[in-house]
Structure 1
């Protein structure tokens, strides 16, 4: 799976939690989940669980705390997948 495919899947995962649709439509690696997409912190936990299920990975607490934007999330997903 390449980076674009990972971002596409991530976009699908976060879509139900997004409060700022135009920011989702213009999603980039620099898009911040809380500030740009207006996702609340409780929903970030749901997103992490969805990411774990979708990509068949386990995200530890330290990595979870770093998943604040698309780029960080993709890097964590790619790293966890390569560790399998």
Structure 2
């Protein structure tokens, strides 16, 4: 289940990766802005896609906490448990 969520998240992120970063570069520890070079506008798009994909609502504080891929997965897991 967690692997499936991780794969879905990677599928969302890869759309927004710049040309010099590949999907193979995405790890649990990848920092969206510092390592994956995703700008803040694209990070908002990722959040919206995550909301659609997992049918959850993310608050501003969730977005602030979403620094790495692992953070994103933990937030998704927490939201799915609450639903």
Query: Number of residues paired by the alignment?
Result: 82
1:20-31 superposed matches below 5 A: 20-22=20-22, 24-31=23-30
For structure 2, the residue ranges without an aligned partner over 5 or more in a row are none
Question: Normalization by structure 2: what TM-score?
Answer: 0.92
1:81, 1:29 → 2: CA distance? 19
**How large is the Cα RMSD of the aligned pairs?**
1.0
Q: As a proportion of its length, which structure holds more helix?
A: 1
Please give the secondary structure, in 2, of the residue aligned with 1:17.
coil
1:1-84 superposed matches below 5 A: 2-19=1-18, 20-22=20-22, 24-84=23-83
Give 4+ residue runs of structure 1 displaced > 6 Å after superposition: none
Shift of 1:4: 1.0
Question: Normalization by structure 1: what TM-score?
Answer: 0.91
Q: Deviations over 1:7-49 (max 9, x none)?
A: 1000000111111424x31322101111111100111001000
